[in-house]
Amino acid sequence: MTALTSYSTGTISVAANGTAVTGVGTIWSGTNVRPGDILQIGNFQTIITDVTDPTHLVIPPWGGGAQAGVAYVVWKVSQQRIAGAQAMADVSTLVAALNTTGFFWFVDVSLAAPDPSLGSDGQYALQPSTGKMWVHVGGAWNYLGIYKGFNFRGAYDNAAAYSVGDVQTTAGTSYVWINPAPGSGHPAPDATYWQVLAAKGDKGDTGAVPWSNTTSWATATNYVAAPPASIVVYPVNKNTYVCIVPHLSGNFAADLAAGKWLLIGQSATEATSGTALAIGVGSKVFSVVTGFSYQNGVRLRASSNGSPTNWMEGVCLYDPAAQIITMTVDKTAGAGAFADWNFNRAGQPGAGDLTSSLNLSDLTSKPTAVVNLGIPGLIRGYLNGFKISTTGTNNQFSVTAGQACSSLFADMIGTTATFTKTSAAWAVGSGNGALDTGPLVNGFYHVFVIKNPTGLGTVDFLISRSATAPTMPAGYTMFRRIGAVFYGSAGAAFSQMLQRGREFLWPGVSLDVNVTNLGNALTTYTLASVPSGIQVQAILTVIGWSGTQNTQWWVHDAALTDNVPNFTNGATATEVTTFSMGNFSEARVWTDLSANVVARANNPSTTLRIVTRGWFDPLEG
């Protein structure tokens, strides 16, 4: 049995008791939805009284409550779909359209022509695979030809297969394949397969030879400007010239100055001079020929041809008309007078040039050079010095001289003397406050060395409750965390603390955990005596005991796998008696960002005490 047909594209909305239905993404055309069809939303149905347009319907007052953007179903049960009048109206519309516009018959790829039993006069048949087209005239199909667009295939390939409409290029002319049968191995201009699409033009006439063969310039020679014009190479500077004014040659420099020659090829030949000059700084004038490529401001070196280690060098002025080079000598080698000078171009030393023998000691700003060379990025994490100390009796702490790579590896930050800072609001300079923002509270503060990269590159120190984002003073953009201090343990003072390398130690001890109910469940404990906001390795003395013999307990990093402490998995310590004798163990345990560690035992009611001796801070970045 055939199921009812339906339509449910898009979503619809309708108000409670509303008669207007609005669709989104719907196409309520005359065939998809018709008056008399049933609209269903959820378990509620109603009849459609009108189809306003592809996105609007009219229904009786809706009793299924307000609906917005919901799914729906239209059941196609309208009498208009099955009534003869409507069906005949649809057929009439279709027949009228066919009588007016006709339609294409499509020919299967396996057929050579349309089925002769099909079609009426005036109709067309098309075979899409070949582009062949027929028209039905006088009761039969008549072949019209192949109708395909051009397919440009580039240069002709003898091995490639071509079909109607393929265009290839041979010797500058474009051809289109016209043979109904595809094929290969038929080069143009075979008219059976190819028709010229765009032909290459004829080659133009050869004009007059513009220039004569190149010869070496000579005096007392007639040179001409009309085609072919005289072309010469001047033997001294090796430049190439074309004659632009007919003349009998005399002195080349004079003829060139008179505009009879045009330079068309500049030689790389350097000048020579026979002027006798002594090596020394200052102005030196050399007699040379004309036609060299020097411009005023060129830096040249004049070396003795017979003794090349004797030379003078400087910025030059070149006067081709007077045929002289004036050199302002600022560098020399050797000594003596010479008259066999060879000129060569030399690089002009810059104002900031370095001398190799000084081994970079002549750098104007070595710290800037370090940054420009990208050294901070190569030694990221570098930290030396910057040891923090507190006495426990006042609100001051001191930091020794040191050097560190900034947190974002943009620069190096360093000091050469010990700084003292206080718990007051930050102010630049030793002896002033270090607090970045807000009121002072009891607890840990992270210590940062900071730098203002502008001006003199001022370096100072700052304390902040944040381990990663201190509130920086104006102008200070670079920082590096170097440790932490604790404020408020005894009055308005920083607690006494010892720093050894990257270990921070309390002079005494701090009992951070003291419980009698440690059991089988993994339990988190916060160590109040180590800083939070970073992960540190807490230096601990773990004390425990139990009335149950062979009770073991763990104290470890919260990120580690939770395993039952025992003689198989291991443990921090164990109770070996039944008399709560207890056990002590030294342990180093990494905390999480909230200064937490975890612990568990394999028996309930285990006593656990954790004494914090200090912590190791990796001070990374």
Tens-digit pLDDT profile for residues 4-20: 888 898 999 999 999 99
- pLDDT of 121 reads 86
Residue 169 makes CB contacts below 8 A (sequence gap 6+) with 154, 155, 156, 175
**Residues 523 and 575 reside in one and the same domain:** yes
Paired tokens of 375:
């050294």
In a domain, 579, yes or no: yes
In a domain, 215, yes or no: yes
**Residues 387 and 489 reside in one and the same domain:** yes
**Residues 493 and 381 reside in one and the same domain:** yes
- Residue 293 CA: distances (Å) to CA of 196, 289, 318, 341: 53, 12, 9, 17
Whether 351 shows a pLDDT value over 70: the answer reads no
Domain stops at, among 500, 518, 545 = 500
Cis peptide before 189 (omega within 30 of 0): yes
- pLDDT of 216 reads 92
Domain stops at, among 40, 55, 84 = 84
> Among the residues of 129-275, which ranges form H helices?
252-257
Cβ–Cβ < 8 Å for 459, 449:
yes
- pLDDT of 621 reads 65
Q: What is the dihedral of CA 504, 509, 511, 512, to 10 degrees?
A: -10
Tens-digit pLDDT profile for residues 446-486: 999 999 988 788 999 999 999 999 999 999 998 999 999 99
| 38-41 sheet: strands from edge to edge | 6-7, 73-75, 38-41, 44-47
Whether 546 shows a pLDDT value over 80: the answer reads yes
CATH assignment of the domain containing 171:
2.10.10.20
Arithmetic mean of pLDDT over the chain: 87
**Residues 388 and 340 reside in one and the same domain:** no
The residue whose two tokens read 């000129």 is 343
**How distant is the alpha carbon of residue 420 from its chain centre?**
44
In a domain, 98, yes or no: no
Tens-digit pLDDT profile for residues 186-233: 999 899 999 998 888 877 777 778 888 989 999 999 999 888 999 998
**Residues 177 and 291 reside in one and the same domain:** no
Beta pairing partners, 151: 166
Tens-digit pLDDT profile for residues 202-211: 777 777 788 8
What's the whole-number mean pLDDT along residues 378-401? 87
What's the whole-number mean pLDDT along residues 309-330? 91
Q: DSSP strand E in 497-581: where? A: 498-500, 503-518, 523-526, 537-545, 551-556, 573-575
DSSP-assigned states of every residue in 287-326:
E--S-----TT-EEEEEESS-TT-EEEEEEEEETTTTEEE
Beta pairing partners, 416: none
Report how far residue 341's alpha carbon sits from residue 279's, in angstroms, rounded to the nearest whole number: 11
- Residue 366 CA: distances (Å) to CA of 54, 359, 375, 478: 76, 12, 12, 18
**Residues 48 and 164 reside in one and the same domain:** no
**Residues 286 and 325 reside in one and the same domain:** yes
Give me the domain span that covers residue 322: 272-345
- pLDDT of 205 reads 76
More confident residue, 372 or 254: 254
Confidence class for position 97, pLDDT limits 50, 70, 90: low
What's the whole-number mean pLDDT along residues 540-548? 90
CATH assignment of the domain containing 488:
2.80.20
Most confident of the following: 171-185, 312-326, 529-543: 529-543
Tens-digit pLDDT profile for residues 103-157: 778 888 888 888 887 888 888 888 887 888 888 998 899 988 888 788 898 999 9
What's the whole-number mean pLDDT along residues 76-80? 84
CA end-to-end distance (rounded Å), the chain: 76
Whether 357 shows a pLDDT value over 60: the answer reads no
Tens-digit pLDDT profile for residues 483-498: 999 998 556 899 999 9
Q: Is 375 helix (H, G, I), strand (E, B) or coil?
A: helix
In a domain, 96, yes or no: no
Whether 401 shows a pLDDT value over 90: the answer reads yes
Beta pairing partners, 464: 446
Specify the length of the chain in residues.
Answer: 621
In a domain, 621, yes or no: no
**Residues 282 and 314 reside in one and the same domain:** yes
- pLDDT of 428 reads 95
- pLDDT of 347 reads 82
Report how far residue 522's alpha carbon sits from residue 554's, in angstroms, rounded to the nearest whole number: 9
In a domain, 29, yes or no: yes
- pLDDT of 218 reads 93
**How distant is the alpha carbon of residue 402 from its chain centre?**
36
**Residues 511 and 480 reside in one and the same domain:** no
**Residues 518 and 487 reside in one and the same domain:** no
What's the whole-number mean pLDDT along residues 372-400? 81
Whether 101 shows a pLDDT value over 60: the answer reads no
Q: Return the H-helix or E-strand segment holding 613.
A: strand 606-616
Confidence class for position 353, pLDDT limits 50, 70, 90: low
- Residue 181 CA: distances (Å) to CA of 112, 135, 141, 193: 12, 21, 21, 9
Cβ–Cβ < 8 Å for 273, 343:
yes
Cβ–Cβ < 8 Å for 470, 436:
yes
Encoded amino acid at 394, one letter: N
Give me the number of domains the chain comprises. 7
- Residue 536 CA: distances (Å) to CA of 129, 314, 591, 619: 75, 64, 6, 9
**Residues 383 and 441 reside in one and the same domain:** yes
| CA proximity to 609, closest of 582, 581, 576, 577 | 582
Report how far residue 279's alpha carbon sits from residue 277's, in angstroms, rounded to the nearest whole number: 7
**Residues 516 and 591 reside in one and the same domain:** yes
Q: Percentage of the chain with pLDDT > 90?
A: 53
In a domain, 364, yes or no: no
Report how far residue 127's alpha carbon sits from residue 105's, in angstroms, rounded to the nearest whole number: 9
- pLDDT of 387 reads 96
In a domain, 206, yes or no: no
Paired tokens of 443:
């607890």
| CA proximity to 236, closest of 292, 276, 285, 275 | 292
Paired tokens of 610:
């954790």
CATH assignment of the domain containing 44:
2.40.30
What pTM did the predictor assign? 0.46
